[in-house]
Amino acid sequence: MAPTTPKFNNPPPTCKYCILSFPSPAILLITLNRPKSLNCINMDGHAELEAMYAWLDAEPSLRVGILTGNGRAFCAGADLKEWDSQNAAGKPRAMPHSGFGALSRRTGRKPVIAAVNGICFGGGCEMIINCDMVVASRKATFALPEVKRGVIALAGALPRLIRTVGRPRAMEMALTGRTLPAEEAREWGLVNKVVGDGDGEVVAAAVEMATLVAENSPDAVIVSREGIKLGWEAIGADEATRLLMESWYPRLLQGENIKEGVRAFVEKRKPNWKESKL
């Protein structure tokens, strides 16, 4: 699919460390662009990505985000050279509330899909653990090697990892720091789908998945995602359902999309979704 140049209510934030493109008017593709540094994210990069995801959530025409990397890495984690310099200078490291790459603790409104093209270590792995879906190239590798550097994965991955892969496997990843190939990561439940390693193949697969999401009611996608998040964050099913019904479902009922979905089904046509106002 050829990239498009959509019109937006507000222009996208300025980018220095990533590239923005739009495979379709509803899909934002963010490509980390520090290939010589294996797409390690520095402090300015965290702030840049935080602004990017805030814009994704606020822009009505966008429905799904995709994150990938340029070169042989998706993201190899923190910029350790910068970290070392800051340590030497006694400077604090102020990461966004949304975590590493503004994604490892992101809540947000709209789904983000990771298209993992290669090395996915440390903070990079913490980001994909909190992504809504993950597509990986067969050459992709995953690891939490922090223990090998005397630090820990403190950006939100550890409590979420145990819910995704279970305690024994979470312990194995966090305590050994060993590297998982893509197929093993899929077997463990970290990855939805593994594709070939041809040029652009993993991004194309992520765009295909994002297109399936973008074709649906944006209101229903936002509220369904919220319901799954409530359960995943260790809230009981009854409490999560109550919160969803009290906080989100009334907003869904006020929109036009819930009526349009039913009407289109009855009339046997494709729905004409309106931009979400949730």
Catalytic residues, by residue number, are 78, 123, 126, 146
Q: Are 144 and 157 in contact (CB under 8 A)?
A: yes
**Rg of the chain (C-alpha set):** 19
Q: Report the alpha-carbon distance of residue 180 to residue 138 in Å, rounded.
A: 11
